[in-house]
Amino acid sequence: MREKIEQLKKNIEQFKADTLQQLEEFRVRTLGKKGELTAIFEEFKNVAPEQKKEFGRLLNEVKNLILEKLKSQKESFDAVETVSGIADKTLPANADSIGSRHPISLAKNEILEIFARLGFTVADGPEIEDDWHVFSALNFPPDHPARDMQDTFFIEQNPDILLRTHTSSIQVRVMEKQKPPIRVVCPGRVFRNEAISARAHCIFHQVEGLYIDKNVSFADMKQTLLYFAREMFGENTKIRLRPSFFPFTEPSAEMDVSCKICGGKGCNICKHTGWLEVLGCGIVDPNVLEASGINSKEYTGFAFGMGIERLAMLKWQIKDLRLYFENDVRFLEQFQSVI
């Protein structure tokens, strides 16, 4: 009898079920009416009284072993079933959570696509620039405040190497390489020595635009920007150009779009003016064309520059610039539905 118990114990320890049916067969084979353990319990009746205690303990041990085996094997089947969903085939599948693009990428792609429809190609340039491409070639006077450490990040105290403060530097690189006609948009990251707040950041993104050909006029610029504003903010959008100043354009203007939240009536977003400022623009200063080797008697052009964060803020009513850089998924997930 002792041998039988030992043998049964070994069999149980080695047992592993591949299917639920095998597990059920194991239960019947051991604990069933004609099962192996049941048979030994029958024999137990004939055991001498002084051995009953010892055999009783052994038999209970084996019984517990079987029960534990049944339980653990059943649990492993359950786990597999829930993972693969076989347990209840009528349950709806768990939806995979999809990723989303960052709102800066979404806005940038949309801007580039709109200008692509007007024949603008995309140009790129370095983030670490020299004074020439960021300032001098763009007609900044030597004492312009942007050249100050307060506004610009210089690299290792070298006044010639700096982080670009605007993507206008790319228009200089394009003009140096390419003959007109030129029609480019230049997206990129820019850097300014500013304290970080809800409305300012030391890193942000811009898209610069440049159009140079014979007889390009202010009217061409206005029509191009009106088309852009309507594609970006809706077909009823109006634009307004206010006189402004930039060293690299003359005349210069700032463009506002009618507030799409209140339709121009006045609200918190547009500070009750009905207008939102979106970009700077102007006719390229002849000095800028000449600095890059383009004959200003033969060619004219317009340029414009806009902040992507700002446009995305207006488009999706994002109230704090810092949200763009914090990578909080609760913020980012809200852009899943935007392609």
Decide if 58 contacts 40 (C-beta within 8 A): no
Instruction: Out of 191, 280, 312, 313, name the contact with ligand DAH by CB under 6 A.
Output: 280
**Measured from the CB of residue 249, what is the shortest distance to ligand DAH in angstroms?**
4
- Nearer residue to ligand DAH within complex by CB, 180 or 305: 305
Position with the least CB separation from ligand DAH: 305
303 lines the binding site for ligand DAH (CB under 6 A): yes
Residues 6+ apart with CB under 8 A from 63: 31, 37
Task: Please choose, out of 36-44, 75-83, 142-150, 276-284, the segment that lies near ligand DAH by the rule CB under 6 A.
Answer: 276-284
Decide if 124 contacts 186 (C-beta within 8 A): yes
Single-letter code of the amino acid located at 254: E
Q: What is the DSSP letter of 335?
A: G
187 lines the binding site for ligand DAH (CB under 6 A): no
Name the helix (H) or strand (E) containing 278: strand 275-284
Q: Is the dihedral of CA 232, 233, 237, 243 positive or negative?
A: negative
H helices of 19-48, in order, are 20-31, 36-44
Instruction: Out of 26, 135, 275, 304, name the contact with ligand DAH by CB under 6 A.
Output: 304
Whole-number Å distance between alpha carbons of 208 and 285: 16
Site size with ligand DAH, rule: CB under 6 A: 11
**Measured from the CB of residue 246, what is the shortest distance to ligand DAH in angstroms?**
4
208 lines the binding site for ligand DAH (CB under 6 A): yes
The mark string for 236-275 relative to ligand DAH (x by CB under 6 A, - otherwise) is: ----------x--x--------------------------
Whole-number Å distance between alpha carbons of 133 and 247: 13
Give the residues lining the site for ligand DAH (CB under 6 A). Answer: 166, 168, 208, 246, 249, 280-282, 303-305
